[in-house]
Amino acid sequence: MKRKPDKIVYTVILLLLIVLGIPTVKLYFSQRGLRWLYILFFSFSLSVILTPIMRSIARRAEIVDYPEERKIHSAPTPLLGGVAVYLAFVVAILTNFIFTKELIAILLGSSIIMCTGLMDDLKVVPAIWKLLAQLSAALIVIYAGIGLTIFPENILTLTVNSLITIIWIIGITNAMNFFDGMDGLSTGMSLIIAFFLGIVAFQTNHPFVGWISIAIVGTCLGFLPYNFKLNKPATIFLGDAGSTFLGFILACLAIMGEWADNNLFVSLTTPLLIFWILIFDMIHITIMRIYTKKVTNIKEWIDYVGKDHLHHRLEALFLNKKLSVAFIYFMCICLGVTAIVLRNARTIDALLLLLQAVIIVIIISVLERVGQRRERRRN
């Protein structure tokens, strides 16, 4: 049974959502240049309202994640959190945006990703089908004109740029899914990444990207209290539907923006810094799993679930899951702040900041080694 303060907060947020639904209120924010704030409030309040509804549906339908050896939770926990996040985001977007080809492509691609993840939550989907779904979503986005332009475009380089774009989208989508191993980790990481993408987008005069980023921030902010509690376990999980959906949206946002003025290297460095923790973890586990022969192909790479991710390695050091998650939050914030200053930076400045990110990774690796030695002594 919910405590009375929880009911009061829920009622207040429900009233806020109703007020935000009044056309004159929406117009008021828009006329004062506060469209971003309206999107933040709307996505946040809708996420808060939808999450307990989806939690209740998951419990009644027994769509829950059961504890097992490779997982860290100790009690059956409802899934479908990803559905709440998806619906809150999509509704916030549809009620606040002028439709464009790019937006439709992102919504269509993310819907494919979410539905595939939901099917995987309900019944395990073969890796090849998940990969094909992710590839299809990436191709839809590329067809709409969203993609990396690293090399000047001609027939050959267009193929190379498209291939790099596909690798980026599929890589980040799966990296966020792999990171969904502790309460609040993927949700909080998505919130932080979207926050910094939004700031840089507004800095570089890309409000469209900024508004989508803000919608993700609000959605994750509304879901986080249910997914990350200081003294209690999460009451609902994102599931594959939510983590892959968030990873896909963020990956698309990273390649939509022009993150610097007339400097390709700086423009590429900005999202690299914001996504650095995800990229580092993905590279680390991929190299180690191939080296130890735990995975030998893409199918095994997508399917493999192990306790060798950054958050697991940090837990061995701190002996505390919440502290491990908080540590990753602060690392991500640190690198995000670094990315903000890159707007008018020189190439040498970007190189130095990338060097700083590498040094941070080295420090983390040293700490991990300490944790691994400590864990071996305990065992």
Q: What is the pLDDT of residue 266?
A: 78
Which of the two residues, 99 and 74, has the higher pLDDT score?
99
Q: What is the mean pLDDT of residues 261-289?
A: 82
Q: What is the mean pLDDT of residues 184-190?
A: 93
Over 60: is that where the pLDDT of 5 sits?
no
Tokens of 179: 């990171």
Which of the two residues, 191 and 310, has the higher pLDDT score?
191
Tokens of 127: 């890796």
Q: What is the mean pLDDT of residues 6-33?
A: 91
Q: How many domains does the chain have?
A: 1
Report which residue type is found at 341.
V
Q: CA-CA distance, 290 to 285, in Å (whole number)?
A: 8
Q: What is the pLDDT of residue 73?
A: 56
Q: What is the pLDDT of residue 260?
A: 60
Which of the two residues, 343 and 63, has the higher pLDDT score?
63
Average pLDDT, the chain: 86
Domain hosting residue 208, numbered range: 4-378
Over 90: is that where the pLDDT of 155 sits?
no
